[in-house]
């Protein structure tokens, strides 16, 4: 079987996928005012079976948006409020000694769920953060030398507050790289703020009836993998990632001097998986360059490390990303 045969998507499959996607989008819009890009990012992670890091100041519906998307599905959900005294065993589980039969019994932690919300992940210590590395990458955990497979659909939705420093721990590059994307959330407009007040008054957010099953998401994930991506698009992605590693060849020495570390191979994989999801959301069975560009900030902003001089000169990572993507010829 050649590549094109493997990537074939039947019209019935496409129609079912579009129906599921539209129902999820409508469910999200009924409960969340504005924040359309956040909705797209969460849906993309559902389709790509990846993890997402949400960043904003307090009170901008990070947790609410995450809960809304998971409420739409009849799956399992766990929420962990991260604190400095949180231990790895509080997340993955531990072994407990049973005095009645003198044996150790494994107690599974809240990590065993389809959707795991880690609220304020940067408040947990580095040791606790590292407990999630195996779960996020290998979709399994190890307790007492025994491996436990996580559910087939396993998505971590983590939130962090960028303005507070006391009692927080910066996420390591290895931890950040496990997140498929990072989304920044802005303040709502005045009109959106008024609409939020109306919906709170109507108690819209308490309505949490599921509209889909986990099997529907599994179907979406399998279909997303079948979306066709041409070799020229793969080369386009590879060139973008290469440019983050050797930026002086593409954006000049001045801008390149702000970059301390480029993106890893996980960024290439993320571009490919997310662009397939974006294509399917738009009712297409093939990826275009615009699909790659659409989520460029989400995929690269936490994978490109900048020197302190960038902050001093008011240079944002988004400016660097735009310069890099703009320097690569579009196929």
Cα separation, 157 vs 75, in Å, equals: 15
Has residue 6 got a pLDDT over 60?
no
| More reliable by pLDDT, 231 or 173 | 231
The values of phi and psi at residue 298, to 5°, are -60, -35
55: alpha, beta or left? (left if phi > 0; alpha if psi -120 to 50): beta
- The pLDDT tens digits for 292-309 are 999 999 999 999 999 889
Residues in the chain: 331
Fold adopted by 227-331:
Helicase, Ruva Protein; domain 3 (1.10.8)
Alpha carbon 197 to its chain's center: 28
Average pLDDT over residues 226-243: 95
Q: pTM for this structure?
A: 0.86
Specify the CATH class of 15-205+212-226 in words.
alpha beta
Task: With CA atoms as reference, report the closest residue to 227 among 269, 272, 290.
Answer: 272
* % of the chain with per-residue pLDDT over 90: 34
Residue 81 has pLDDT above 80, yes or no: yes
On the question of pLDDT at 289 being above 70, the answer is yes
Q: DSSP state, 304?
A: S
Mean local confidence (pLDDT), 34-58: 87
| Domain definitions of the chain by residue range | 15-205+212-226, 227-331
């Amino acid at each position: 079987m050649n590549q094109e045969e493997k990537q074939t998507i039947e019209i019935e499959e496409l129609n079912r996928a579009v129906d599921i996607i539209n129902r999820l989008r409508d469910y999200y819009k009924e409960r969340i005012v504005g924040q359309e890009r956040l909705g797209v990012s969460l849906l993309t992670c559902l389709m790509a079976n990846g993890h997402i890091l949400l960043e904003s100041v307090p009170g901008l519906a990070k947790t609410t948006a995450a809960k809304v998307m998971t409420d739409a599905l009849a799956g399992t959900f766990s929420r962990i409020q991260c604190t400095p005294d949180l231990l790895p065993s509080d997340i993955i589980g531990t072994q407990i000694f049973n005095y009645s039969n003198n044996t150790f019994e494994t107690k599974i932690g809240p990590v065993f769920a389809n959707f795991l919300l880690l609220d304020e992940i940067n408040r947990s210590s580095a040791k606790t953060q590292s407990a999630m590395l195996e779960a996020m990458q290998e979709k399994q955990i190890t307790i007492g030398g025994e491996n436990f497979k996580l559910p087939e659909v396993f998505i971590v939705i983590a939130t962090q507050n960028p303005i507070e420093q006391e009692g927080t721990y910066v996420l390591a590059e290895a931890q950040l790289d496990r997140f498929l994307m990072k989304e920044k959330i802005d303040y709502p407009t005045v009109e959106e703020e008024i609409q939020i007040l109306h919906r709170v008054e109507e108690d819209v957010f308490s309505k949490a009836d599921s509209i889909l099953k986990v099997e529907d998401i599994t179907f979406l994930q399998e279909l997303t993998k079948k979306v066709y991506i041409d070799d020229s698009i793969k080369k386009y992605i590879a060139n973008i990632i290469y440019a983050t590693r050797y930026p002086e060849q593409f954006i000049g020495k001045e801008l390149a001097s702000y970059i301390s570390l480029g993106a890893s191979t996980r960024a290439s994989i993320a571009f490919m998986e997310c662009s397939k999801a974006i294509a399917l959301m738009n009712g297409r069975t093939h990826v275009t360059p615009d699909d790659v560009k659409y989520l460029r900030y989400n995929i690269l902003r936490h994978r490109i490390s900048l020197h302190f001089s960038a902050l001093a000169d008011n240079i944002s990572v988004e400016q660097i990303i735009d310069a890099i993507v703009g320097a690569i010829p579009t196929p």
